[in-house]
Amino acid sequence: MGTIRQRRRSDNTIAFSAQIRINQDGQTVYQESQTFDRKQVAQAWIKRRETELAAPGAIERANRKGATVRQMIDRYLDEYEKLRPLGRTKRATLNAIKETWLGDLNDEQITSQKLVEYALGRIERDGIQPQTVGNDLAHLGAVLAVARPAWGYIIDPMAMPDARKVLRKMGAVTRSAERERRPTLDELDRILHYFEEMRDRRKQEIDMVRVVLFALFSTRRQEEITRIKWSLMDENRQRVLITDMKNPGQKYGNDVWCHVPDEAWQIMKSMPRGSDGPFPYNAKSVSASFTRACNFLEIDDLHFHDLRHDGVSRLFEIGWDIPKAASVSGHRDWNSMRRYTHLRGDGDKYQDWEWIERAISGPTIAPGNRLNSRSRSTTL
């Protein structure tokens, strides 16, 4: 049975402390208390809780030790890291979430309403964009999806889906906008002339002429380009193993064999063999060098990654279908490539482009910033 005790607070107001104690075989197996301002509310609470606790398994569930969102995130980061390293962005996002008020919630307290409140607070208080909120919830959702079946925490499986549904209708969660920016031939010509001049003046440690052209025709990201190894090339099938290819669900250990189109293959083979790979550079330095060139040339809003978008677009423009283009780009989800299909059959704007042969036959920058007067074409 529940009991109610009346007591006076320090401000002389009256409080009613309701307590439930359940005994079995002379032992207290469960107790719980709450304080209310009105006796009628305290009585109603006792009646409701006694009914709930009379259900089979209710006392066991009430006595269980749950976990806070903070504890779940810590466990996820610790155990997941042993299986597969997490990306820096995901780790930083989860560490930030656990330090908010959301991190103090117990597993049973995680509801769609709480998740919506957190997301709207991020937008209103912190001024972040809806796509960032979407990323936050995606990373937290990965933790909750593991915590319930793997660790036995009581989490409403519909809390996250319902929250995302509400937030999408409110416009508070969106996907990152897809960039449609592609370099023009004039912009590429100016960029390549700039890097050619820097190379000839011995002011460059990265062979950016070849890197830019290889990125364009291979559709590779800068991180992937700098990880290519001579030992991971298959000349018979004209392909290369791209290690740790970027993927929303798997950042590390996602190794994919990708076909290398003729233009990119010739450029790669023209690089010197002085290192483990054809492009032994720092990926951030490649991106920074490209950005500096665009700023110097006053080329607006062009990123190194836009070369990949242009390269994939070109494959469709010369008539390749989705499976064949995906064998180059490494896309596993063909649906993500449907944005390119309207480009089919528009022709190759790079046909007979002078820069391909110009790069292949031009001097190279060997490791250690040594300029070779003639490229050393290699046979793989």
Q: In this model, does residue 375 exceed pLDDT 50?
A: no
2 — pLDDT class (breaks 50, 70, 90): confident
Is 185-372 CATH 1.10.443.10? yes
Closest to 132 measured CA to CA, from 89, 80, 165, 99: 89
Domain layout of the chain by residue ranges: 2-63, 69-170, 185-372
> What element of type H or E holds 35?
strand 27-36
Average pLDDT on 250-260 reads 78
* Model confidence pLDDT, tens digit, residues 135-151: 899 999 999 998 888 88
Give me the residue label for tokens 């291979």. 218
> Residues 150-175, buried b or exposed e (16+ Cβ, 10 A)?
eeebebbeebbebbbebbeeeebbee
Instruction: State if pTM tops 0.75.
Output: no
Return the CATH superfamily for domain 69-170.
Tyrosine recombinase, N-terminal domain (1.10.150.130)
> Residues 37-61, buried b or exposed e (16+ Cβ, 10 A)?
eeeeebeebbeebeeeeeeeeebee
- Supply the pLDDT for residue 177: 60
Could you give the CA distance from residue 239 to residue 230 in angstroms, rounded to a whole number? Answer: 11
Q: How many CB atoms lie within 10 A of CB 344?
A: 14
Q: Which has the minimum average pLDDT: 102-116, 336-350, 358-372?
A: 358-372
Average pLDDT in the chain: 85
- Supply the pLDDT for residue 9: 87
- Supply the pLDDT for residue 111: 92
CA-CA-CA-CA dihedral for 287, 290, 292, 298, to nearest 10: -140
Q: Which has the minimum average pLDDT: 96-100, 227-231, 252-256?
A: 252-256
* Model confidence pLDDT, tens digit, residues 31-56: 888 888 999 999 998 999 888 888 88
Average pLDDT on 283-302 reads 94
Could you give the CA distance from residue 203 to residue 39 in angstroms, rounded to a whole number? Answer: 82
Average pLDDT on 313-338 reads 85
Q: In this model, does residue 368 exceed pLDDT 70?
A: no
- Supply the pLDDT for residue 331: 84
**What are all long-range contacts of 193-197, with beta carbons under 8 Å and residues at least 24 apart?**
194/293, 194/296, 194/297, 195/289, 195/293, 196/362
Could you give the CA distance from residue 301 to residue 313 in angstroms, rounded to a whole number? Answer: 18
pLDDT cut 90: percent of the chain above it: 47
Q: How far is CA 177 from the centre of its chain?
A: 14
Closest to 341 measured CA to CA, from 330, 362, 325: 325
